[in-house]
Structure 1
Amino acid sequence: MTSLFTPYDLRSLTVPNRIWMAAMCQYSAEPEGEAVGAPTDWHFTHLAARATGGAGLIITEATAVSPEGRISPYDLGIWNDTQAAAFRRITSFLTSQGVVPGIQLAHAGRKASTERTWVDRGRQIRPDEPYGWQPVAPSALPFDASATTPAELTTDQIRDVVRQFAQAAERALGAGFQVAEVHGAHGYLIHQFLSPHSNHRTDEYGGSFENRIRFALEVVDAVRAVWPDELPVFFRVSATDWLSENPEDDREGWTADDTVRLAKELQARGVDLMDVSTGGIAPDARIETGPGYQVPFAERVRNETGMPVAAVGLITEPAQAQEIVASGRADAVLLARELLRDPYWPRHAAAALGGRVAAPVQYHRA
């Protein structure tokens, strides 16, 4: 038995292994009507395949806490009871396979109202176009030159969004999810508040580090208040904006030092694990990629705070994933595109490394 296939305890939960599925948008929900934002047969099949494939924990794609919080009109949402009820079919199947079901609660902020990635390269849909709406953000700064200028949130509207996260978490609990992940990464709303690149406010939500993290902490407090003590809360963070790392870029951004400081605050508020990614706030940031290129950021959070972390970023090979966990660089790996290519990656990894993942009884003869 290798480290990658050992169980992992989080509060009252035991995740059967350390190979987890990261949230990945499918842009396949209905954009209007009674079933708007609800998971479909595609979502069930997509997630169920990774459950039978051996993933220990599966996090659904970014699931919007409000209609205007969707990245695209085709995103999942959990702002109403119809959507929550539709998720129960998925969570019931995942738990029947011994898989822990998690949900990523999200608000896209200024990166909302976009096309699907395979349509016009995911361009932003203008508010006056079909299925388009007015994005919101901490500051009236568009994502890039072609994007819609977002409306700056008032303090009352910020409080409304915090409530929406809490209400979404309550619905997610009723839908059978066992992990709630707050999406604070990839240039979406919480990240927009965190980063000085996108947050130019002069009130209590802008300026200093303490002010810029205020919204994130309020969301976490609201989610933790309605989430049971026996179940874990995760936080996905972009550990760096990749601006300060470039000596030729004089723009101010969120840094790895900031992430460590934030992790300590989140840990004190009951966040159980940091899901550590990077980037997404500046479309022209220079990012040096390569196998496991984001793992050092997760490792640093773990080393400097003692907080459990999951590592992401071009983790593709079984031996690579095993080394990350066995060496203590992270407590688990979250696979994304590799699981799109190979839903049975955990089984293939077990065969390669001499580990074991539980198989459905229907497959035992194989």
Structure 2
Amino acid sequence: MDERIAPLFSPFALRSLRLANRIVMAPMTRGFSPNGTPGADVAAYYARRADTGLIITEGVGVDHPAALGGSGVDGDNAPHMYGKAALEGWRAVVDAVHAAGGVILPQLWHQGVMREMGTGPHPEVESVRPSGIWGPLDRTAMVSPHYMETVAGEPGRPMSDSEVADVIASFARSARWAMEIGFDGIAIHGAHGYMIDNFLWEGTNRRTDRWGGDHRARTAFAAELVRAVRREIGPEPVVNFRFSQWKQQDVRARLAETPQQLAEVLGPIADAGVDIFDGSQRYFDRPEYDGSPLNLAGWAKKLTGKAAQTVGGVGLNSGVYDSKKTGGSDAAVENVHKVAERLARGEFDLVGVGRAIMHDPEWTRRIREGDELLPFDEGSRLVLT
């Protein structure tokens, strides 16, 4: 093994989690679960990647009628974590990954304001939005013009206290069921302009009650949700929490403009029971704040004392929106050397790899053994390999 990447293959242990290496298959929406139920193809897809230290599944809808909706991968073919058929499907996924020697967490997900009303498993229910708004309509958004004209501009209303409580309870129920069918912990999607992020970000949370206010006050929903999940799963399983600065409503959004503000956001969530903060950014090697080389995950670890997971173009030679074909080059390998060096320095503890592992189930082995990396092709998003 190349000594420069050796830190990636050191073991990691936290609570009941035991990993053979520090590489994490990052969550990526796939949309191959008709009626919300993963089949044998999904089980095989994840099992083929069991060589990674940890697998975090694609976003899985929680037990709330407005959790999922939209066309394509965000519609009827997105998986959920409730109902006999879906739970048995996920049990088969977990069993296949475990049989292959892997470790797996489900990423529990509620689309919040991003859900398209009239679609999904329950098209009859309205979407729920913390303050009734989708977000600023004059920013650079990651959605189509048609979406901006329809979903973003749809009128809404603030969620009631009972609706807020229902969403929190839905995460807790789905977390309990996930542990009952054998998952090794829980990952929570709190980023990218979805429900939990809707409460954290001032662009979607204008509330003046207990769920709104300044940076710290806006964490009340996320913290209460994490506490509810922790009560259901007990003290031993890990809780991984993804957060981001950017939002689909505004790719230049900043959840926190300064380290102090970030501490105000992450501190209450950490105290509620999070073990690992997954700092999602486009490029892992971009400093988050002036005057320090730390990236988003690095700041999360520094400010909370919790373990941190980085992500953002690892194993590729360009960012997620920069090129259709990237990967098999000296630049991509050098990219891996850089992230391993930062891991060795203790900036973060785990390294999320998304597109590269989605495209090539042998990616972890290739890195370990020094084999040439395969060029990434955007078309791999359309198939399960």
TM-score with structure 2 setting the length? 0.76
Aligned to 1:166: 172
Higher mean alpha-carbon deviation, 16-25 vs 129-138, is at 129-138
Aligned to 1:203: 209
Residues 211, 220 of structure 2: 8 Å contact kept = yes
Residues 61, 103 of structure 1: 8 Å contact kept = yes
- Match for 1:343 among 361, 372, 379? 361
Q: CA deviation at 1:174?
A: 1.1
Higher mean alpha-carbon deviation, 160-169 vs 204-213, is at 204-213
Structure 1 residues 252, 5: CA separation in 2 closer, same or farther (over 3 Å shift)? closer
Q: CA deviation at 1:291?
A: 6.0
Q: CA deviation at 1:306?
A: 2.1
Residues 274, 309 of structure 1: 8 Å contact kept = yes
- Match for 1:106 among 99, 106, 109? 109
Q: CA deviation at 1:260?
A: 2.8
CA distance in 1, matches of 2:232, 2:301: 26
Residues 292, 312 of structure 1: 8 Å contact kept = no
In the comparison of the two structures, how many residue pairs are matched? 320
Q: CA deviation at 1:244?
A: 11
Aligned to 1:140: 132
Higher mean alpha-carbon deviation, 292-301 vs 127-136, is at 127-136
CA distance in 1, matches of 2:120, 2:222: 31
What do residues 287-345 of structure 1 show as CA deviations (whole Å, max 9, x unaligned)?
xx556337711111222332110000011133133223112121010111111222211
Residues 67, 77 of structure 1: 8 Å contact kept = no
- Match for 1:216 among 210, 214, 222? 222
What SS does the corresponding residue of 1:198 show, helix, strand or coil? coil
The share of aligned pairs that are identical, in percent, is 29
What SS does the corresponding residue of 2:205 show, helix, strand or coil? coil
The reply to whether residue 262 of structure 1 matches residue 277 of structure 2 is no
Aligned to 2:145: none
- Give the gaps of 5 or more residues in structure 2: 69-73, 138-147, 289-293, 316-332, 372-385
Q: CA deviation at 1:87?
A: 0.7
Structure 1 residues 243, 87: CA separation in 2 closer, same or farther (over 3 Å shift)? closer
What do residues 254-277 of structure 1 show as CA deviations (whole Å, max 9, x unaligned)?
445333333322222221110111
Residues 244, 255 of structure 1: 8 Å contact kept = no
What do residues 176-232 of structure 1 show as CA deviations (whole Å, max 9, x unaligned)?
101201111011000000000111112221122233111101110000001132211
Equivalent position amino acid for 1:169 in 2: A
Q: CA RMSD in A?
A: 2.7
- Match for 1:178 among 176, 184, 200? 184
Q: CA deviation at 1:252?
A: 7.5
- Give the gaps of 5 or more residues in structure 1: 31-35, 114-125, 279-288, 354-366
Aligned to 2:340: 322
Aligned to 2:67: 69
Give 1:1-366 correspondences, 5 Å limit.
2-30=6-34, 36-51=35-50, 54-65=51-62, 66-70=64-68, 71-113=74-116, 126-127=117-118, 132=123, 134-143=126-135, 144=137, 145-148=148-151, 149=154, 150-239=156-245, 253-255=255-257, 257=259, 258-278=261-281, 290=283, 292-293=285-286, 296-316=295-315, 317=333, 318-352=336-370
Q: CA deviation at 1:151?
A: 4.2
What SS does the corresponding residue of 1:185 show, helix, strand or coil? coil
Structure 1 residues 256, 178: CA separation in 2 closer, same or farther (over 3 Å shift)? farther
Structure 1 residues 330, 291: CA separation in 2 closer, same or farther (over 3 Å shift)? closer
CA distance in 1, matches of 2:354, 2:214: 34
Aligned to 2:324: none
CA distance in 1, matches of 2:276, 2:49: 22
CA distance in 2, matches of 1:216, 1:15: 27
Residues 84, 174 of structure 1: 8 Å contact kept = no
CA distance in 2, matches of 1:14, 1:330: 17
CA distance in 1, matches of 2:119, 2:243: 32
CA distance in 1, matches of 2:112, 2:188: 14
What SS does the corresponding residue of 2:104 show, helix, strand or coil? strand
What do residues 107-157 of structure 1 show as CA deviations (whole Å, max 9, x unaligned)?
0001113xxxxxxxxxxxx52899745321101213553242244311111
Q: CA deviation at 1:173?
A: 0.6
Equivalent position amino acid for 2:99 in 1: S
CA distance in 2, matches of 1:182, 1:241: 16
Residues 87, 181 of structure 2: 8 Å contact kept = yes
Higher mean alpha-carbon deviation, 65-74 vs 301-310, is at 65-74
Higher mean alpha-carbon deviation, 36-45 vs 167-176, is at 36-45
CA distance in 2, matches of 1:226, 1:203: 26
What do residues 6-37 of structure 1 show as CA deviations (whole Å, max 9, x unaligned)?
1100112211100110111111222xxxxx21
Structure 1 residues 328, 102: CA separation in 2 closer, same or farther (over 3 Å shift)? same
Equivalent position amino acid for 2:67 in 1: G
CA distance in 1, matches of 2:150, 2:296: 30
Structure 1 residues 244, 141: CA separation in 2 closer, same or farther (over 3 Å shift)? closer
